[in-house]
Structure 1
Amino acid sequence: MLTTSSLFLKIKTNPCLRFVGWFFFFNALFFWLAGLSYLHSILHSPTLFKNMMADYSSPAGQVLILFFTGINFISYMTVLAFIPAIVPALVALFYPKKTMVMGLSWILATLSLLLLIIDVQVYALFKFHLNQTIFGFIFSKEAHRVFNLSSVEQLIIYGVAMLILLVEWGLAYGVWYGIILPKRLMIGRFLVWGWSSLAVLSYFIMMLSLAVHHNNLLIQQASNLPLYNQLLGLLIPQKNAEELLNDFSEAHYMQAPYSHETIQYPLHPLNCQRPDAKRPYNIFLIMVDSLRFDSLQYMPYLQSFANESWQFLHHYSGGNSTQAGLFSLFYSIPGTYWNAALEQHVAPVLFDWLTQYQYKMRVIYSAEMRNPPLDKTIYQRVPDLAADGSLKKIESDWDRDSTDQALQFLRQEKKQHQALFLNVFYNAPHAYCNLAKIPIVYQPYQRVCSRIGMDNRVDREPYYNNYLNTVHFIDEQLQLLLKAIKDEGYWDNSIVIITSDHGQEFNENHQNYWGHASNYSVYQTKIPLLIHWPKQSSRKIAYRTSSYDLMPTLATRLFHCTNPRSDYSIGQDLLTATDRKPFIIAGSYATTGIIEPDRLTTIHTSGAISMTDQYLMPLSLSLLRKSIVRDVLLLQRTYYQK
């Protein structure tokens, strides 16, 4: 039987095992330093001492919370640092060769520390940790197009990786020749006992909080630490412990995870008719990645188009990311059905109509459409799909190329008698750090972007001006395309729709949010929607609409579908002000948002729920509107087979 004494004796007589222990102990110090931003997030949380379930705001209560926070952070980050040590420890136990153990420890420690630093940056910008979706993007062959890293950002990443490699190698060398070969340090045993005591104490306090006092004041810190609930769940002797921890982190309400069940979309066969005219209206859907609701004031030509069109002043995307935003527009159901649609090859009903009524389809994307796989979901029925996007090398040329392709298509089809569906998707505002060959209209601008380490102290104006310069550039492309639609004779017989997939935030709420896919504020979800409909006068719509509303509008006003809208959509006709839900469901890659006029509710795939006001300030004492959450969850189950 292996006792504690015999274990220490085995370690004492095995220099390779001693090396693993000391090497990863020093690596734990690096983890403490790298993870300080997690600790900062915890300590600056408005619900650190008080939330709707517990109040520890007394001096004694605050001391207890701070004590737990400190020991929990130290012990947990040490656990994370030692997870990679398992493999070299086993090798040292059964094959104690210095070169093998040192090399393996060096590589694993480097990778783990690099992943932690990446996670720190991801969490700082987006408020979620590395996950399967993000890893899928990172390791895809089109990763450079997805992340749009500037040359400086790439240089920083490579530089940090090389620095970690060198530091870890120096640490390995120093531990072996400075600690292992000389006389054994007696402090090692005390360090092990000290760390074990802290880990057990933090575990005991956490369990006391959950099991005895039935509050979530401590476990709510879990979302700030990577893999916390997953690892803690392994230590709780109860089935589905991780799910219970996630559920208890913010509220007692469970959301079904993104399902792979059989999708039933539409719910019933659609009864639609061919559009009235001999040649149905063309549909020209023009989209601009990351175009915000307030961009029109910087786009004079698009503003002039808006003045003669239907302009929806309070229009929201069904997502804060490309995947969820486009899914909500084309499928008109929540983005939680993405997995089922992808795996079961279910296309949007729009393409049933386009095929049935013999529309000629052309889809032109500036960027590639494989990450996320739009080519296997939304556009799976489009013939001759160019899924790789533009082949130009400079990103602004991607959009110029898209305009050129669209103009060529319009000229080629001018004399044909077939209705057209043209979908153009511009990219520049998404890649606002790449301004090559883009006119600089707004200054000061950020010549070289470095979004690594951004915080509330960073001046947002130069970055926002970068964005405005790309927006102005896109306005020029839209001018060319819209002019061609008029000049080639399409205008009077075409529905022209201009919108976006999501917005783009530049820390307007001073909560250190930059970009998109991280929250559901207006800066990430509110987008333009402009529609030219033949023989219809211009109008401004002031009630709230969403991207779910476009398909019902086409279904009823163009394709004369008589089915209930709920057969294929959770939206409403854009021009109908009544019978609108008091909320908008917005998806992302890791969460679901509920957008209400006075609050934003975020439901994580685990079931954890958090609430903020429109400015992202936590509503720690507000009660959950369970009836609305219930309605959202039902809508996320409606389109699965019963």
Structure 2
Amino acid sequence: MLWLKNGKIKFDRQYREQTSQKISWGHWFAFFNIIWAVLIGSRYAFIIDWPHTFFGKLYFFISLLGHFSFVTFSLYLLVIFPLSFIIKNERTFRGISVIFATLATTLLLVDTEVFARFNLHLSSVVWNLLVNPENGELSRDWQIFFTPMPFLLLVQMVFSRWAWYKLRSLERQKWIRHVGFGLTALFIFSHLIYAWADAAIYRPITMQKSNFPLSYPMTARSFLEKHGFLDKEEHQAKINQEGNADAPAIQYPKNTLAYETTAEKPNVLIITVNGLRQDALQAEKMPALYEFASRATRFNNHYTTGLTGNGAVTGLFYGLTANYTDSLLNQKLSSVLVDKLRRDQYQFGLFSATNFNDSIFRQALFSQVRMKQGKKNNESAVKNWQQWFNRRLADTPWFSYISLDLTQPMKEKNYKDLAAEQQAYEQLLKQTDQLLNLVLSQLQVQNQLEDTAVIITSERGYVFRKTEKEQLEYFAPEAIKVPMIVSWKELNTGIENKLTSHIDVVPALMYNLFWVKNPNSDYTLGHNLFDHTQRPTEWVLLADRRQNVIVVPDGTQYHLDRKGNYQKFDRTYEKTSSTRPPLGLFLDVFTQSRSFIEK
């Protein structure tokens, strides 16, 4: 019995010593991989929108060291540390640790390239996209990034062996503890800095929110609001005005635009009726607009670019999808169309039933143009336009934008049932139709219709039995499929059934009216609306701050969030299962989504 007891004690002591050695070796192995992760992670500095302030640059290096040291050591605690107790053989233990570290390092290297191409980090959808057998060329490109694995494996093995045999001397090194405390302090400090920057909306730091994989910077808005250090409404109003501070910088346009010399300067009139549904364009509901549409070109398969005013205007006036809206607000960028009109000294007549309530008008699009203020209703906007039109200089070309709204008048009433809401909507349509008839008739009377490009569309369609918040999250066909009517002397009248979007308006005007020489890719993501050929991409893209919504010609939708997760909806907006995502489609969307991001 004594022999058994002594043997057990000896075994326990040996087990503790071996385990202690493996744990000590694991600390040095984790430190070695922290260095690797930081070196590879430094590549993100050459990919991201580099901050222009000293504090923003300093934060990048603090977060680089703090984030990758924390993630690497966390992986050690979750994987290698438990193995120290489970695997008795030290060679097996070190071999498994080396393989795991090599895989993790390789995935980080691949993620840097994924982020460079798509502005996304690795996810299940992105991973499927990379290994998609349908795109052999892309798959071969990505295989190149796995070629360093043997080299990484060799380096890990060499250090593993060296550290094990030098463990006693390494254990006498005291500086490693100070380094560990320092890296921990940097990690905590980086989150505290970001929490401050998020509350202060300091863009040089907040724009770095998604720089690194597995990064979730701390925010403290709720805490600051609770203790009276932050006004929630004021803070949100500033974000709505200036855009999300984590939006990337963009280069718009990509190159300086050049134009053909031409003596003709046509007039341009754009009218948007927010809340105008596509099925509202009927003879019995809107007779004047229906009759005008019969003498113009009507695009029957047309989509807006967003469910907010900012998102729709981004598509209509910039030729960009709505996921660029925050960047435009941050940088206060004007539209190439508006810049051209100002350069050619057009007269501007801008009128809105909401007094241009959407921030993009004052912050970016028309920031250098005078906008007419008036009562917040459709009648006032049209009346002010009539007065401006009668006083304009007859021998000078003009550009006018009239923004009417159906959603606010509908929100101001309570409806006992769906029938009552529909009846109120139809009455509002008739009133709006009369106002549109005043504008179109005045153009006709003064012989301006022939020399004016007239565009009538909607920001989004009105959805019955939905609150304002629900409407802004509801991508059903009645919300996103909107009328598009264009009257221009060089266009044939009739109905176009091709797939079109708001982003197609700017290239149509820039090419057909102003004779721009640059290719579309220099200033827009759209396809010429007046071109009878099909668009290069057989899909259109809507977006909000959380997700991209892809719509294909048959009405099927794919909702793709910022992390690469997706859902599929059929043409009736019913969620359907999808075991095989359209990876080629997603690749096109990822590519387009970062086309104008500054590199």
Q: 1:496, CA displacement in angstroms?
A: 1.1
Cα contact 2:250–2:596 (8 A) shared by 1 = yes
Larger-Rg structure:
2
Partner of 2:274: 289
2:371 is the alignment partner of 1:385: yes
Choose between structure 1 and 2: higher helix proportion.
2
CA distance in structure 1 between the partners assigned to 2:348 and 2:445 by the alignment:
21
* Contact 2:422-2:464 at 8 Å conserved across structures: yes
CA distance in 1, matches of 2:491, 2:429: 28
Task: Give a deviation string over 1:124-174, Cα, whole Å, max 9, x none.
Answer: xxxxxxxxxxxxxxxxxxxxxxxxxxxxxxxxxxxxxxxxxxxxxxxxxxx
1: CA distance between counterparts of 2:394 and 2:475? 44
1:471 aligns with 2:437: no
How much has 1:390 moved relative to structure 2?
Answer: 2.8
**Per-residue deviation at 1:431?**
2.7
Separation in 2 of the partners of 1:400 and 1:274? 39
Q: Distance in 1 between matches of 2:529 and 2:214?
A: 47
| Matching residue's letter, 1:390 | G
Shift of 1:486: 1.2
CA contact under 8 A between 1:325 and 1:587: conserved in structure 2?
no
Matched, 1:411 2:390: yes
TM superposition shift of 1:552: 0.7
Give me the identity figure in percent: 21
User: Whole-Å Cα distance in 1 between the matches of residues 342 and 569 of structure 2?
Assistant: 44
From the superposition, tell whether residues 285 and 634 of structure 1 become closer, same or farther in structure 2 (CA, over 3 Å).
same
1:422 to 396, 400, 406: 400
Does residue 363 of structure 1 match 2:319?
A: no
Using the alignment, how far apart are the partners of 2:444 and 2:317 within structure 1? 26
1:638 aligns with 2:595: yes
Q: Number of paired residues?
A: 358
Query: Partner residue of 1:629?
Result: 586
Unaligned runs of 5+ in 2: 1-212, 219-243
- Matched with 1:487 is 445
**Deviations for 1:380-422, whole angstroms, at most 9, x for unmatched residues?**
232x224xx5335xxxxx2111111111111111x53110001
> Is the CA contact 2:477–2:573 (under 8 Å) kept in the aligned structure 1?
no
Offset of 1:272 from its aligned partner? Answer: 1.4
User: What secondary structure does 1:267 align onto?
Assistant: coil
Correspondence list, 1:265-284, <5 A = 265-277=252-264, 280-284=265-269
TM-score using structure 1 length:
0.53
- Aligned AA for 1:409? W
Match of 1:498 in 2: 456
Give the match's secondary structure for 2:534. coil
Q: CA deviation at 1:622?
A: 3.6
Structure 1 residues not aligned, in runs of 5+: 1-237, 244-256, 393-397, 435-446, 451-458
Residue in structure 2 matched with residue 113 of structure 1 by the alignment: none
CA distance in 2, matches of 1:240, 1:262: 20
Is the contact between residue 541 and residue 549 of structure 2 (CA under 8 Å) also seen in structure 1?
Answer: yes
Q: Match for 2:307: what amino acid?
A: N
Q: Deviations over 1:292-346 (max 9, x none)?
A: 1111111000000001011111111111221111111111111111121111111
Matching residue of 1:223: none
Answer yes or no: is 1:571 the counterpart of 2:556.
no
How do 1:517-596 and structure 2 match up within 5 A? 517-534=472-489, 536-576=491-531, 577-596=533-552
Letter of the aligned partner of 2:414 in structure 1?
V
* Deviation readout 1:550-602 (Å, 9 max, x if unpaired): 01111111111121111111111113223431111102343321111252111
1:619–1:242 CA distance, 2 compared to 1 (3 A):
farther
**CA-to-aligned-CA distance 1:197-255 (integer Å, 9 cap, x gap):** xxxxxxxxxxxxxxxxxxxxxxxxxxxxxxxxxxxxxxxxx954799xxxxxxxxxxxx
**CA deviation vs aligned residue, 1:242-296 (integer Å, no higher than 9, x gap):** 99xxxxxxxxxxxxx995322101111111135442xx11101111111111111
Query: Is the CA contact 2:498–2:534 (under 8 Å) kept in the aligned structure 1?
Result: no
CA distance in 2, matches of 1:541, 1:575: 10
Residue number in structure 2 paired with 1:613 = 570
Give the secondary-structure state (helix, strand or coil) at the position aligned to 1:506: coil
The amino acid across from 2:380 in the alignment is D
Q: Secondary structure of the residue that 1:291 maps to in structure 2?
A: coil
State the AA in 2 paired with 1:268. Answer: N
**Structure 2 vs 1, CA of residues 275 and 362 (structure 1 numbering), >3 Å: closer, same or farther?**
farther
Is the 8 Å Cα contact of residues 504 and 514 (structure 1) preserved in structure 2?
no
Q: Deviations over 1:324-382 (max 9, x none)?
A: 11111111111111121111111110011101211111210110324434211222232
Q: Is the 8 A contact 1:274 1:357 kept in 2?
A: no
Mapped partners of 1:242, 1:625: distance in 2: 32
Q: How does 1:16-165 map to 2 (within 5 A)?
A: none
Candidates 320, 334, 339, aligned match of 1:333: 320
User: One-letter code of the match for 1:329?
Assistant: L
Match of 1:516 among 451, 462, 471: 471
Q: Is contact 1:506–1:513 with CA below 8 Å preserved after alignment? A: no
2:305 corresponds to which residue?
A: 318
State how far apart, in whole Å, the 2-side matches of 1:472 and 1:270 are. 42
Change (3 A) 1:275 1:525: farther
- Cα–Cα, structure 1 residues 259 and 541, in superposed 2: closer, same or farther, change >3 Å? farther
Alignment-derived partner of residue 180 in structure 1 = none
Question: How far is the alpha carbon of 1:637 from its aligned partner?
Answer: 0.7
Question: Separation in 1 of the partners of 2:467 and 2:351?
Answer: 34
Distance change in 2, residues 1:505/1:622 (3 Å): farther
1:429/1:467 contact within 8 Å kept: no
Quick one: distance in 2 between partners of 1:562 and 1:422? Answer: 25
Q: Does 1:306 align with 2:284?
A: no
Cα shift readout 1:494-514 (whole Å, capped 9, x = no counterpart)? 11111111112226xxx9999
Is the CA contact 2:491–2:530 (under 8 Å) kept in the aligned structure 1? no
Letter matched to residue 426 of structure 1: L
One-letter code aligned to 2:381: S
In 2, Cα distance between the equivalents of 1:330 and 1:565? Answer: 14
Change (3 A) 1:275 1:528: farther
What is the identity, as a one-letter code, of the residue corresponding to 1:406?
Answer: W
C-alpha distance in 2 between matches for 1:460 and 1:258: 40
Q: Which residue of 1 aligns with 2:414?
A: 448
Deviation of residue 621 (structure 1)?
Answer: 3.6
The alpha-carbon distance between structure 1 residues 625 and 537, as it changes in their structure 2 partners (threshold 3 A), is: closer
Cα pair distance change 1:560/1:467, threshold 3 Å: same
TM-score (norm 2): 0.56
- Asked if structure 1 preserves the Cα contact closer than 8 Å seen for 2:499 and 2:538, the reply is no
Cα 1:637/1:366, change in 2 over 3 Å: same
Q: CA RMSD in A?
A: 2.5
Which letter maps to 2:595?
A: T
Deviation at 1:538, TM superposition (A): 1.4
Whether the aligned pair in 1 keeps the contact of 2:278 and 2:481 (CA below 8 Å) is: yes
* Cα distance in structure 1, aligned partners of 2:483 and 2:216: 44
How much does 1:491 deviate?
A: 1.4
The answer as to whether partners of 1:291 and 1:500 remain within 8 angstroms in 2 is: yes
What corresponds to 2:75 in structure 1?
none
Letter in 1 for 2:424: N
